[in-house]
Amino acid sequence: MLVEVRRDRIVESRHRGHVVQVAADGRVERGFGDPDVEVTLRSAVKPFALVALIESGAADDLRLSHTELAVMTGSHTGQDMHVRTLQAVFRRAGVSQSLLLCGSVGMPIDQVTAARLARDGEAAGPIRHMCSGFHAASLLLSRFAGWSLTDYDEPDHPSQVAVRSAVARVFGVRPADLVMAVDDCGLATYAFPLVEIARAFALLADPHGAANDTTRAKLAPTLARIRDAMLTAPEMVGGSGEVLDTKLMRTRAGRLVAKGGAEGLRGVGLLPGARGEGSAAAGLAVRIEDGDGFARASRAATVEALSQLGALDDRDLRALAAQHHPTKRSPSGVPIAEVVPTFQLAPISELL
């Protein structure tokens, strides 16, 4: 059990899950549950998929800023700042946003924006979809390389083949060995043991220091650029509200890089110094078994794990209180239920 939902003295719900933390060299240091449980990356793949766009030369050709790259790594909330950022890129590239194939059902996530659009009688277009930046990267890559634009989402399209190659190199496997699935937005995602996701985020946190082979060493400049983009513009990775990825990167600016995925997954890269002066980089991955439909358990477990690892101090925890202990309130504002992490990370010596 990772997390309990307590209503007064009653334990109303329990969430099972797994947590694993690795060192920069990939060694498992601490964990809880099964580090080898296979999970899909879902949207946590996005920072690694962006390698394909940068390697192609398209990012330099379009002079993409950190802010513009960050929105392509993100699951954004569909606010105007996200839309304006993507529209500016599309204009420079000469690409129509009407080519986006991510759909628009249930979007935007940001409730204020959704209410405003409804009030004005405006239907949300695909550019407000949380994955529009992810899709934009494939469109821009295709335009730069001269590939067809209308079918960029097909698994055998050259843009998707390039993404598969990038993801495979980050994770140290052959493209043919990737376990692939289709995400809700229509693009591919991939399945890995949870510990491999933690290792990938350690690499993202410290691409030069954590690269343990020639292939990953060649990726280091590109991954450093992606990491720096996310750290520079965390609101583009999520939004201006209570999105945990954004909150973590703002609260521990320059020390944590985070990206969540659906079904209760989150990866966090701990940059050098995140756990105290002189500390090495590390990677963390959290998975909630039931998919975390209320988006509460993964937030609480992630903040608790980072606290136990020494990456968050008391001031940080106060800033992240709504994420650490999500609280349900009555109509009059009285707290009536609380989400409480209940696990203790164990050193690897205790897990063997």
Binning pLDDT at 50, 70 and 90, where does residue 212 land? confident
Express each pLDDT in 70-118 by its tens digit.
Answer: 999 999 999 999 999 999 999 999 999 999 999 999 999 999 999 999 9
Tokens of 179: 């376990």
Express each pLDDT in 140-184 by its tens digit.
Answer: 999 999 999 999 999 999 999 999 999 999 999 999 999 999 999
State the Rg of the chain over Cα. 20
Q: How far apart are CA 328 and CA 269, in angstroms?
A: 30
Binning pLDDT at 50, 70 and 90, where does residue 255 land? very high
Q: What mean pLDDT comes out for the span 264-290?
A: 97
pLDDT at 351 > cutoff 70? no
- Provide the mean pLDDT of the chain: 96
Residue 3 DSSP SS3? strand
How many residues in total does the chain contain?
A: 352
Q: What mean pLDDT comes out for the span 38-63?
A: 98
Tokens of 173: 């496997």
Binning pLDDT at 50, 70 and 90, where does residue 187 land? very high
Q: What mean pLDDT comes out for the span 285-309?
A: 96
Binning pLDDT at 50, 70 and 90, where does residue 211 land? confident
pLDDT at 11 > cutoff 70? yes
Q: Could you give the percent of the chain with pLDDT greater than 70?
A: 99
Q: What mean pLDDT comes out for the span 255-271?
A: 98
pLDDT at 348 > cutoff 80? no
Using an 8 Å Cβ cutoff, are 241 and 219 in contact? no
* 241 CB burial (10 A radius; 0-12, 13-18, 19+): middle
Q: Which of 310, 305, 266 is nearest to 285 (CA)?
A: 266
Binning pLDDT at 50, 70 and 90, where does residue 350 land? low
Tokens of 62: 């379009």
Q: What mean pLDDT comes out for the span 238-252?
A: 96
The domain containing residue 227 runs over which residues? 3-351
pLDDT at 352 > cutoff 90? no
Torsion of CA 256, 260, 265, 270, to 10 degrees: -10
Tally Cβ neighbours within 10 Å of residue 122: 10
Q: Could you give the percent of the chain with pLDDT greater than 90?
A: 95
pLDDT at 349 > cutoff 80? no
Sign of CA pseudo-dihedral 351, 276, 272, 267? positive
pLDDT at 139 > cutoff 90? yes
Q: What mean pLDDT comes out for the span 313-338?
A: 95
Using an 8 Å Cβ cutoff, are 195 and 36 in contact? yes
Sequence letter at residue 331: P
Tokens of 302: 């992630």
Torsion of CA 126, 131, 134, 139, to 10 degrees: -20
Token match 């990206």: residue?
259
Q: How far apart are CA 175 and CA 191, in angstroms?
A: 12
Query: How many domains does the chain divide into?
Result: 1
Note the pLDDT of residue 99: 98
Tokens of 169: 């190199």
Q: Which of 148, 141, 215, 152 is nearest to 187 (CA)?
A: 152
Q: What mean pLDDT comes out for the span 38-42?
A: 98
Note the pLDDT of residue 241: 86
Q: How far apart are CA 148 and CA 170, in angstroms?
A: 26
Q: How far apart are CA 259 and CA 251, in angstroms?
A: 15
244-252 own/partner pairs: CB under 8 Å, 24+ apart: 244/298, 244/299, 244/302, 244/303, 244/323, 245/74, 245/75, 247/319, 247/320, 247/323, 248/302, 248/303, 248/306, 248/320, 251/312, 251/316, 251/319, 251/320, 252/311, 252/312, 252/316
Per DSSP, the chain holds a count of helices (H) and strands (E) of: 17, 13
Q: At what angle do helices 194-205 and 158-171 cross, to 10 degrees?
A: 90
The DSSP secondary-structure symbol of 34 reads -
